[in-house]
Amino acid sequence: IAEIKGGQEEGLERVGEQITIRGWTRTCRLQKSFCFLEVNDGSCLSNLQCIVGSDTEGFGLIEAGSVSTGASVAVEGQLVESQGSKQKVELKASKLHLIGGTDALTYPVQKKRLSREYLRSIAHLRPRTNTFGAVSRVRNALAYATHKFFQERGFIWVASPIITASDCEGAGEQFCVTTLVPNSPKDSSTPIQSIPSTKDGLLDWSKDFFGKPAFLTVSGQLNAEIYATALSDVYTFGPTFRAENSNTTRHLAEFWMIEPELAFADLKDDMACAASYLQYVVRYILDECKEDMQFFDSWIEKGILARLNDVAMKDFRHVTYTDAVNILLKAETKFEFPVKWGCDLQSEHERYLTEKVFNGTPLIVTDYPKDIKAFYMRQNDDGKTVAAMDVLVPRVGELIGGSQREERLDVLERRIEELGLEKDSYWWYLDLRRYGTVPHAGFGLGFERLVQFSTGIDNIRDAIPFPRVPGSAEF
| Residues at the site binding ligand 4AD, with contacts judged by CB under 6 A | 168-169, 219, 221, 242, 244, 251-252, 255, 257, 259, 398-403, 442-446, 448-449
Measured between alpha carbons, how far is 104 from 110 in angstroms, rounded to an integer?
Answer: 8
Per CB under 5 A, 402 contacts Mg ion: no
70 binds, among ligand 4AD, Mg ion, none (CB under 5 to 8 A by kind): none
Query: Least distance (Å) from Mg ion to the CB of residue 259?
Result: 12
Which of the stretches 32-40, 122-130, 394-402, 445-453 binds Mg ion when contact is defined by CB under 5 A? 394-402
Binding mask 251-280 for Mg ion (x = CB under 5 A): ------------------------------
Which of the stretches 52-60, 225-233, 298-306, 397-405 binds Mg ion when contact is defined by CB under 5 A? 397-405
397 binds, among ligand 4AD, Mg ion, none (CB under 5 to 8 A by kind): none
Cβ proximity to Mg ion: between 117 and 371 the closer is 371
Cβ proximity to ligand 4AD: between 255 and 284 the closer is 255
Cβ proximity to ligand 4AD: between 26 and 405 the closer is 405
Per CB under 5 A, 444 contacts Mg ion: no
Radius of gyration of the chain (CA): 27
Measured between alpha carbons, how far is 443 from 450 in angstroms, rounded to an integer?
Answer: 14
Measured between alpha carbons, how far is 444 from 461 in angstroms, rounded to an integer?
Answer: 19
451 binds, among Mg ion, ligand 4AD, none (CB under 5 to 8 A by kind): none
Say if CB 241 and CB 218 are below 8 A apart: yes
DSSP 370: G
Q: Which of 54, 131, 36, 126 is nearest to 94 (CA)?
A: 54
Per CB under 5 A, 397 contacts Mg ion: no
Cβ proximity to Mg ion: between 401 and 467 the closer is 401
Q: Which of 369, 375, 371, 327 is nearest to 350 (CA)?
A: 327
Cβ proximity to ligand 4AD: between 71 and 257 the closer is 257
Query: Least distance (Å) from Mg ion to the CB of residue 398?
Result: 6
Cβ proximity to ligand 4AD: between 48 and 460 the closer is 460
Say if CB 15 and CB 81 are below 8 A apart: yes
- Residues 6 or more apart in contact with residue 147 via CB below 8 angstroms: 157, 237
Cβ proximity to Mg ion: between 44 and 387 the closer is 387
| Cα-based distances in Å from 171 to 330, 356, 372, 373, 390 | 31, 30, 10, 10, 17
Cβ proximity to Mg ion: between 394 and 401 the closer is 401
251 binds, among ligand 4AD, Mg ion, none (CB under 5 to 8 A by kind): ligand 4AD
Angle at 99 between CA 94 and CA 100, to 5 degrees: 140
Binding residue (CB under 5 A) for Mg ion from 23, 260, 362, 401: 401
443 binds, among ligand 4AD, Mg ion, none (CB under 5 to 8 A by kind): ligand 4AD
Per CB under 5 A, 58 contacts Mg ion: no
Measured between alpha carbons, how far is 451 from 465 in angstroms, rounded to an integer?
Answer: 11
- Residues 6 or more apart in contact with residue 192 via CB below 8 angstroms: 180, 182, 201
Q: E-strand spans in 185-344?
A: 201-204, 215-216, 234-241, 254-263, 317-320
444 binds, among ligand 4AD, Mg ion, none (CB under 5 to 8 A by kind): ligand 4AD
Measured between alpha carbons, how far is 96 from 116 in angstroms, rounded to an integer?
Answer: 33
Query: Least distance (Å) from Mg ion to the CB of residue 400?
Result: 8
Measured between alpha carbons, how far is 423 from 445 in angstroms, rounded to an integer?
Answer: 28
Binding site for Mg ion (CB under 5 A): 401
